Chains A and B, each alone.
Chain A
Amino acid sequence: MSLSDPGPPDAASAAARLRFETVYDATYAAVLRFAQRRVHPSHAEDVAADVFVVAWRRIADVPREPDEARAWLFGVARRLLLASQRADQRRHALTLRIADDQVTGRLGSGVDADLVLHHVDLARAWRLLSPVHQESLALVVWDDLTSPQAAEVLGISAVAFRLRLSRARRALRRHLEPGTSPTTTTTTTTTDRAQQRSTR
């Protein structure tokens, strides 16, 4: 045995390893998807790696219940992403990427013109949402969190989150109404900036 070999784990560390393996296997894909929604795909695995390094260090703090563990890890991921933004440009919400490729790819090559147009409308309406509203919708619809879990990720009360979510849905509907002009907004600009900042 070399001096650097930590040797066989004791009972406590064996339990921690088992616990980490369980959490990792159950949540890695979800954490990676969480990151893919918020940073460039080339950076998503780096974010997931950082999340699980934190989880290993703090394995005793990770909730036992799988869904709660997932939400806890999302909270870590979100705070990592916020921390990666330059302090002077730090925001209170992360902008969300959308599946632009579907417009020119999977949907664009299909025969259902309505579906393509709907997607374009949705994509445009999404970009008009504030980052706060984008994040509220994404946590529930894409990340599949309950309102209390999403509230925990954001560090706000469940009531506050429900209010945000309700307003986000209303704002998106408003942007989908005919006649809403496709203006370039700050949201679009910050999306690009945030992605650039997040790509190391």
Chain B
Amino acid sequence: MTTLDTRGSAQLDAAVRRLDPASPTLTDAQQRRALDLRERILASGPDANVLGRPPQQPLPPAGGSRRRRRRLVVAGGLVGAATAGVLVAPLLGDEPREAAWSATPTAMSADDARELGESCLDTAQRAIERPGSPPAQGSFAPEQRRAMRVVLGERRGPYEAVVLGNAAGYDLDCLSVGSGVPVVSGGRYPMANPAVDGISLSGSAQSVEGADGAGAPGEMASTAFGRVGSQVTGVRLSTPAGPVTASVANGWFAAVWPGTDTIAKRDPFADVSVTLTLADGRTTGPTAYASFPQREVPGG
């Protein structure tokens, strides 16, 4: 048997085209009914009962609800966005979540991570180009974004996160829920260089409340991410959602968890603590989230 060649999009689409159940042409009877319908509609007033039954009413377009689909807050800066320099690019569009969040991450393929990373960069670019946007700075500056590579990707049910980083310590941190367009956050300043047995971190929290019922009213998702020292092999967090095992790769870590705090009522990282596992098997912590270095704020 030969193998179905679906390597390229064109080949795959050609194969899918063969599954099309629709008739390529109208039958004579369908054409007659179509002409009859056209005449009946044209002979009717706007509110006439053309079809001999109540006409269906379409749902309103999704565009209106899309605008309120994702409300974003910056809550992970701890001392506030002004000093911690957390910048968030809001985005549009999502789809329903498909499965439950898990405290332990599952692997994301390199292809998926790269694709989500590209989507993040695209998101960042569009946020910058939006009329009225402030000049791009920090992680969003063109020279920093150009140097970024995907350093980490993780998946927890419908939550997918990637971290893009560069050698200067700048990062873009992206969260996509249910394959939706990611929300991107970055720093005004680079992430602090961590001690060999420590980490530097930052975080963001956002609403995942969906107009289509994707999330409960006020439902949040929190992301913690940062750099790990050369001796750190594992990062575990104690969060309001319970214990969370972070992903660690390429000198970075990240973890996403759902939260139920009402938006902006309180810092969602206030009760978070972190336990580190080191290469020699020792563990340190739990240490309060706020005790770790964050970004290299000039004069800070």
Question: A residues engaging B (CB < 8 A)?
Answer: 6, 17, 20-21, 24-25, 28-29, 32-34, 36-37, 45-46, 48-50, 52-54, 56-57, 75-76, 79-80, 82-84, 91-93, 97-102, 113-114, 117-119, 121-123, 126, 130, 132, 137, 140-142, 154-157, 159-161, 163-164, 166-167, 169-170, 172-173, 176
Contact = CB atoms under 8 A, between A and B. Distances in A.
Interface of B: 1-2, 4, 6, 9, 12-13, 15-23, 25-26, 30, 33-34, 37-38, 41-42, 44-46, 50-51, 55-63, 65-66, 91-96, 98, 111-112, 115, 119, 122-123, 126, 179-181, 212
A158 to B, nearest CB: 9
Given A76-B58, A160-B93, A169-B12, A141 B44 contact: no
A49 to B, nearest CB: 5
Given A114-B1, A122-B16, A56 B44 contact: yes
Given A50-B56, A84-B56, A176-B6, A45 B33 contact: yes
B58 A141 contact: no
B18 A119 contact: yes
A53 to B, nearest CB: 5
B21 A97 contact: yes
B126 to A, nearest CB: 7
Contact of B22 (A24, A37, A160): A37
B42 A56 contact: yes
A126 to B, nearest CB: 6
Given A45-B33, A156-B66, A102 B22 contact: no
A17 B16 contact: no
List the 4 closest pairs (A to B, CB-CB), nearest first. Answer: A155-B62, A160-B93, A79-B58, A33-B22
Given A24-B38, A157-B92, A173-B6, A75 B122 contact: no
B179 A132 contact: yes
A20 B42 contact: yes
A57 B46 contact: yes
A49 B58 contact: no
Most chain A CB within 10 A, of B50, B65, B95, is at: B95
A57 B254 CA distance: 52
Nearest to A115: B18
Nearest to B109: A170
A121 B91 CA distance: 37
B250 to A, nearest CB: 23
A28 B23 CA distance: 13
A189 to B, nearest CB: 15
Contact of A164 (B2, B12, B95): B95
Contacts of A172: 6, 12, 16
B61 A163 contact: no
B159 to A, nearest CB: 15
Given A21-B38, A80-B59, A100-B21, 10 more contacts: A17-B42, A29-B26, A32-B30, A37-B20, A50-B55, A82-B58, A132-B179, A155-B61, A155-B65, A169-B12
Given A57-B46, A99-B20, A157-B181, A92 B30 contact: no
A72 B21 CA distance: 22
Given A53-B50, A163-B181, A173-B12, A102 B66 contact: no
